[in-house]
Structure 1
């Protein structure tokens, strides 16, 4: 590998968590970030010398190991109930991060790791691993008369702590990692010193002869190399697939009977034992899990055990893999029950942060719910929400939806202080929480967007009868809604360029004035350069790109499709690619230039070009990097500068016009021919997310209009809108709750209480005697509070319009104060009514 670059060190420092606990030297990542401009060149020299000598400094090998409790354990008197986390010296971790990224790049680019090894790798996640297994199960079910699939989950005791250093280095050499790096890793693994810290006690230093530190950036990728043979060898057996997620290994076999699948699992276990014997690893058979998957009730013996040298492993009806409870028929009932238990616990904890009259504000509680409970609820929903079995043509049962809706409704009442009688649709609107069924749809579409274009998404299994895999079901639901074609989506690779790639010089000035002045100076001074302006434009739902060269008086443009295919960002990248194409053609004509100077008004495109990453728009960035490298081989360097838009820079204005005209737009409302599409044009992954968002909002709006419940909220908010949250800005919790109750009209006024048959409420009439005691009556007409109403609301515009009173922030605040001063609601009485106005 080439020498470590300063840019790699800069990226490693920027990507480090600023407030992560430091190691024994006490230097925080935040300090490294601040000092980066002054120390990055020194670190470059130190790290390169360390690599050249294949020596990892002893100071960096010192650590403090914090011993943490594993959550959910029954017995904390046993060591296995704890997880050791090594707090390493942060300067050393920067170098570890650099080497880890390089190893990852080499592994991904040259295919050094098994395809089914999913953990700790770019563009792969637990959902990839889960769908890989689930798709294979459905493939088995749809083969012949229907095969059975048997899954065995393995457990390695102390996987990271018992790594054999000699075997790890052997595996790295076997998979063609260069010798200098292997020797450096050997020095990294060399006996380390650590102090144990637990419950305030810190031990004397211990010398560690085996294992690798859990807390190092290097540990995950090194373990992938360590157990790669296990994944590969077991997966080579007939009708067997082995997947790994770091140290979690799953072996799946399929056959006509469980007797046959168990025989195949025995063969795989024999291979696994051989691996363990050569890798100083010990399996924990008491933690093995065996489940037979079938929807055939009588033909398959689901009680068939697995005979091992440790004894019989009895099959269970469920197993838990990567946080997902998989039942033998993949109907997911047990997982939904577990979700209900977890989210209920979270909502209970949320309730301890505030009630209807006290505690954390409504907006903060909503953030907590969305950040904690929603991920718990929606984890792996792309699998469990698509059982497609006995669900009456729906992807999941009404029981599942009802449970999840109840969970969100309860959370919404805790967040907002609403009455229990408030309907679920009104709660969703007033807290601006997407209805559960639409959350599921949105998560599913986005999950398929992530899995679909990746290198190793779920396989395309044939489906017949009614056994449709979850991934295929999601794809069908997108097709039914006439959504984007997932199979045409862009292909994103983990890495576009090597970590040590030297990109173009980029410049983004701090202010518009500085950028404009600098641009004028360059145009005057850099007469030997080729100057090109680029732009991307979105107009009338279409995307265009253009590059205008003021040196050669040449313009290139491209039509990038509509907004379901591209974005303005993609147009900006294509504009830069067109500029480089102009530069290449100019060079091929024999013109000698000092450099290529490209000007764009999009800072995101500049940053992406300087540091290309595997994300949406990657295929465009790949083209750009190849063009830059080709020009560099011809001794022509590229620089990209930011210029402000629409301030009179002629080249920028010309590029803007050309990009618009590429879509067919013409001035004066006229239309003209579009520019030609580039040879490579794929729907971006980001457009799939945009479509799913728009589709869910559209569905929400439609269902809200046709809904019969929550009509009081509908009068204030006829369309779902985030603006409803702005009404609660600056309000303490009890005032947010009061506003919520006023808007939903589920409030402690006689009209509502009498309708709910509350004991002691004998009439729905207002004490003033003129009408029912409703929200509108109290706020607008009640004679008993006429003077107070004039005092508090008299100067407001629309004081006689209920919607304006409760739908505008300032008016709503005054309406809340008015209700408090009436002292009608005992729930909200306050001795100091002027504490917050």
Structure 2
């Protein structure tokens, strides 16, 4: 037990539990989080920082001075041992901005140790070029996902309403942020006794779509339909997803029936496929004479989700409820996975209808809500908060192939991409040397000047442009780190020319 005042710990009697006194402590540990008598998280953050620094020094030994594991592997070891602990204990705790900055600083220091970057390397470029995220942003995403999972359970409505009213608490702010992004929570269908239909997510004779010719895949699909679904009403479903739009469609050639809808919110591929299956259930419900039906889809994820929809999204539960009601009515439903884009006529027709459903004239869906793709929406929201504008705007970045270079060469290339090279201009900004001009031509001694302009580097620049493999295209365009048009999307140059 802890008490916020030191004087009260002297005269306040301790609490007794089953005759055992619980003495007052200056700090206690609960669920992996250390809390001091002042009811702050300072001790927990301090302990986490010291443990993370120790783990970083141990993980750095895997590098073996450039002869061991790759920096990415060492970072994975560090993430599994140190960052995972922070993401378990801190996302739901109200830390101050200074405490989060301290946690991010330790994480950024570990990245610099593994990748050979200086301590004062640019923060945004360091995260972007090492494909890392600040711990604070990852903790924010974890907290929002946790609250979304609570909302999806259907039994935490009163708790979320209480947290929403606590606007000054960290959890209350997270709940309000979730509702601001996704809107008010939707109503879920009532619980029911769900009997899943017959679901087959594999195709006999097909071990891998990638290693099987398309003609063989088409034969297996035709054999499956002919042997097991003879006399069934076949319904093909498919979904189509673009950056800010999604559509779903189904087609039943034997009825005939065609359904299309456009999703009113950015959605994942799973949401679009589930919407297509829901459309197929509507088609079968509109034809009471159908007693045997087979729904063929190219989404394994949707079939696996239909096995246990109790904890799934609202759309998943609605689709499962529709299939359950069809079974109660007497319609025998079978669901089968088929490979996509192999030339099956029904699947290709459903794919064209789903892509055509992206047109603004197609009616919007009424059953799909932003909560059905909540994880995607939350991920995009946190991505826009990334410190690097290229990552925040989802700009494609070409990565360096680490297998082509030794660690020293890779570190040099990474320093060039992040703008961490120790030129005279950068030394002047950090260490204030006496001069910041090029000794050869008197211009500002920046990285762009050395690689693109300086006449003293003309021979090395010519060797770089004529070297084997792709040259430093950004150097030829004058778009190096520090310039206004900097876009580090070039491939790695020959390291020997750069070292010269």
The two structures share one fold, judged by TM-score above 0.5: yes
Whether 1:314 aligns to 2:16 is: no
RMSD: 4.1
Larger Rg: 1
Of 786, 803, 809, the residue aligned with 2:479 is: 803
Query: Are the counterparts in 2 of residues 506 and 606 from structure 1 also a CA contact under 8 Å?
Result: yes
Deviation of the 1:772 alpha carbon: 4.8
Which among 433, 439, 442 is matched to residue 138 of structure 2? 439
Equivalent of residue 422 in structure 1, options 117, 121, 134: 121
Contact 2:45 2:99 in 1 (8 A): yes
Q: Distance in 2 between matches of 1:558 and 1:436?
A: 39
| CA separation of 1:721 and 1:439: change in aligned 2, threshold 3 A | farther
Deviation at 1:405, TM superposition (A): 2.6
Aligned twin of 2:268: 567
> How big is the shift at 1:474?
0.7
1:165-204 residue pairs with structure 2 within 5 A? none
Q: Secondary structure at the match of 2:107?
A: helix
State how far apart, in whole Å, the 2-side matches of 1:424 and 1:583 are. 56
Please show how residues 220-619 of structure 1 align to structure 2 within 5 Å. Answer: 290-291=1-2, 303-308=12-17, 311-327=20-36, 330-354=39-63, 359-384=68-93, 386=94, 396-454=95-153, 457=156, 459-460=159-160, 462=162, 468-479=168-179, 482-485=180-183, 487-488=185-186, 503-508=198-203, 510=206, 511=212, 512-520=214-222, 528-538=231-241, 541-558=244-261, 560-563=263-266, 566-586=267-287, 588-589=288-289, 595-609=292-306, 614-616=311-313, 618-619=316-317
Q: What is the aligned partner in structure 2 of residue 747 from structure 1?
A: 421
TM-score by length of 2: 0.79
**Aligned equivalents of 2:324 and 2:225: distance in 1?**
27
Query: SS of the residue aligned with 1:353?
Result: helix
> Structure 1 residue 693 and structure 2 residue 379: aligned?
yes
User: Secondary structure, in 3 states, of the residue corresponding to 2:404?
Assistant: coil
- Equivalent residue runs for 1:768-787 within 5 Å: 768=440, 770-787=442-459
Secondary structure, aligned partner of 2:21: strand
Q: Structure with the greater relative contact order (CA < 8 A, sep ≥ 6): 1 or 2? A: 2
Task: State the 1:540 CA deviation.
Answer: 7.3
1:643, 1:425 → 2: CA distance?
41
Deviation of the 1:737 alpha carbon? 1.7
| Other structure's SS at 1:316 match | coil
Q: Which runs of 5+ in 2 are unaligned?
A: 207-211, 482-486
> Structure 1-normalised TM-score?
0.50
Give the CA deviation at 1:342.
1.9
Alignment partner for residue 498 of structure 2, among 812, 816, 819?
Answer: 819
**Shift of residue 407 of structure 1?**
0.8
Residue 261 of structure 2 contacts residue 364 of structure 2 at CA under 8 Å; is this kept in 1? yes
Q: Find out whether 1:652 has 2:324 as its counterpart.
A: no
CA distance in 2, matches of 1:382, 1:579: 41
In 1, Cα distance between equivalents of 2:459 and 2:114: 34
Residues 758-781 of structure 1: CA deviation (Å, up to 9, x unaligned)? 8xx764454545545432333234
Deviation at 1:399, TM superposition (A): 2.6
Q: Distance in 1 between matches of 2:277 and 2:137?
A: 38
